[in-house]
């Protein structure tokens, strides 16, 4: 393997992947941590197993310690039923890497014959919402499914970052894709956002995810993710400072 291949973006399979037209749910850090928090909650409660990770020069060369385990920062999980996959990351992804990573990931998912892709997002708000509604945005085929399941359709929305890049790839390749968005208060850990998204997913896919201990679990997960993000931001700040010193 030459140096170019070594640093090329690719999906590294850790175990044999057994799936059957799975739904793929994705949760990433964006304007809020709602996607990552919800994905982590689902993984824990559904006892899902890590089967692959994304390796790319566009991802910071870091390992994250969450849930009592040392992990790569961009991971893929499957459920024992073979009908569900979750993709998540606790670190921000540089804008210049979004096209390459999303293209590589969708190429890989196409080979697994996924049925649809769902992006989880939080809408940042500065006051605690009086009503916690999960909104849907999707292509025409998926919109009818959302409506039939009682999901309110957003009048307009902008899905950005890794989620937006993945949806763009799905639209190009005619893979069914949608995003679920819920307001999230940015002032403190907001379990109600995760609850709203989990309830929407339970209604759409009959996941039967329990929510009895959601509040305490989300607060713990939020604390872990927040530490990872703070450490990552401190690392990036130090890199900039070191660079400034080098070029003075």
Note the pLDDT of residue 5.
61
Taking only the tens place, the pLDDT of each residue in 174-196 is 999 999 999 998 876 678 888 99
Q: Which residue has the tokens 């393997």?
A: 1
Over pLDDT 90: what percentage of the chain? 58
Q: Which residues of the chain have pLDDT under 50?
A: 243-248
Q: Which tens digits make up the pLDDT trace of 211-246?
A: 888 877 777 777 777 777 677 677 767 665 554 444
What is the C-alpha separation between 190 and 38, in angstroms, rounded? 11
Q: What is the pLDDT of residue 6?
A: 59
User: Which of 44, 48, 53, 60 shows the shortest CA–CA distance to 228?
Assistant: 60
What is the pLDDT, as a whole number, of residue 229?
A: 67
Domains of the chain, CATH where assigned: 3-246 (3.40.50.10900)
In whole angstroms, what separates CA 171 from the centre of its chain?
18
Of 31, 23, 2, nearest in space to 162 by CA: 31
| pLDDT value of position 150 | 92
């Amino acid at each position: 393997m030459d140096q170019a291949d070594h640093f090329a973006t690719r999906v590294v399979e850790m175990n044999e992947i057994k799936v059957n037209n799975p739904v793929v749910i994705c949760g990433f850090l964006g304007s809020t941590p709602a996607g990552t928090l919800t994905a982590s909650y689902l993984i824990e409660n559904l006892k899902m197993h890590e089967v692959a990770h994304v390796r790319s020069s566009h991802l910071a060369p870091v390992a994250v310690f969450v849930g009592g385990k040392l992990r790569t920062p961009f991971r893929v999980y499957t459920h024992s039923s073979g009908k569900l996959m979750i993709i998540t990351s606790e670190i921000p992804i540089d804008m210049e890497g979004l096209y390459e990573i999303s293209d590589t990931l969708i190429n890989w998912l196409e080979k697994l014959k996924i049925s649809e892709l769902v992006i989880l997002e939080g809408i940042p708000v500065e006051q605690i919402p009086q009503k916690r509604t999960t909104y849907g945005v999707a292509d025409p085929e998926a919109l009818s499914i959302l409506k039939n399941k009682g999901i309110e359709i957003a009048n307009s929305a902008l899905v950005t970052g890794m989620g937006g890049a993945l949806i763009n790839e799905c639209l190009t390749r005619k893979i069914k894709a949608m995003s679920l968005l819920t307001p999230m208060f940015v002032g403190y850990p907001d379990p109600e956002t995760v609850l709203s998204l989990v309830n929407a997913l339970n209604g759409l896919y009959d996941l039967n995810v329990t929510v009895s201990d959601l509040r305490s679990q989300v607060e713990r997960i939020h604390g872990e993710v927040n530490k990872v993000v703070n450490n990552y931001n401190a690392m990036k700040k130090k890199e900039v400072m070191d660079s400034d010193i080098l070029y003075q």
